[in-house]
Amino acid sequence: MPKFLPPLTHKKELLAGAGFGLILGAILYATNPALRNLDISPNSQTNNISTPSAHTILPGSVAPDFRLIDASTNQYVTLSQFNGKPVVLNFWATWCGPCKTEMPHLQEAHNAYSKSELTILAINYAEDPTTVLSFASSLGLTFRTLLDKTGLVQTQYQIRGYPTTVFIDTAGKISHTHIGMLQPHMLTQQIEQLLSK
């Protein structure tokens, strides 16, 4: 006569299967940028993540200075020209879906804080000015859009995916870095923290 497994063993198998499923799901979430509203930066494939850069991009560290062309004016813009003022850097690309969704939130913040000293700089990765300006025009963007043609600034700030937003306080130090799309309330919260310092 065949022996049947007691019901308790079957429950243990089900619990073990469920636990394995949860672990697998967590791993997929952590390793799949699309699930986190994030597009992978093309230069992340060539950069060695384990190699530290000259600057460690952590809260409290000094934000690396840069010199980039403004897509609209064709004039150079440096981070240091905003010394003593809070700055929001948004790293993005036109092919990034989450960036397109996030950009109107940045425009709303730009409008809402126009009377403050806050500056929003959108730093595009390696796209031509025509593409960038056409994208900005289609969304009605009026904040500054800078061109990182060589990807040097992306490397300085250790950008691994888009969008990535870096919040810089009046002392020129990084107060927060957010990888992935920012919801409006999160953006407002970080800006308010910058302005309160």
pLDDT at residue 108, rounded to an integer? 97
Query: Has residue 2 got a pLDDT over 90?
Result: no
pLDDT at residue 29, rounded to an integer? 47
Residues facing residue 12 across a β-bridge? none
Query: Has residue 37 got a pLDDT over 70?
Result: no
* Percent of the chain whose predicted confidence (pLDDT) is above 70: 72
Could you tell me the pTM of the whole model? Answer: 0.74
Residues facing residue 92 across a β-bridge? 124
pLDDT at residue 44, rounded to an integer? 43
Q: Does domain 39-195 have CATH number 3.40.30.10?
A: yes
Least Cα distance to 72 among 122, 150, 146, 149 occurs for 146
- Nearest-Å Rg of the Cα atoms of the chain is 22
Q: Is 10 left (phi over 0), alpha (psi -120 to 50) or beta?
A: alpha
- Torsion angle, alpha carbons of 40, 135, 168, 164, to 10: -10
pLDDT at residue 57, rounded to an integer? 74
pLDDT at residue 18, rounded to an integer? 54
pLDDT at residue 49, rounded to an integer? 31
Instruction: List pLDDT tens digits, range 63-95.
Output: 999 999 999 999 999 999 999 999 999 999 999
Token representation of residue 82: 């905003």
Instruction: List pLDDT tens digits, range 13-29.
Output: 655 555 555 565 555 44
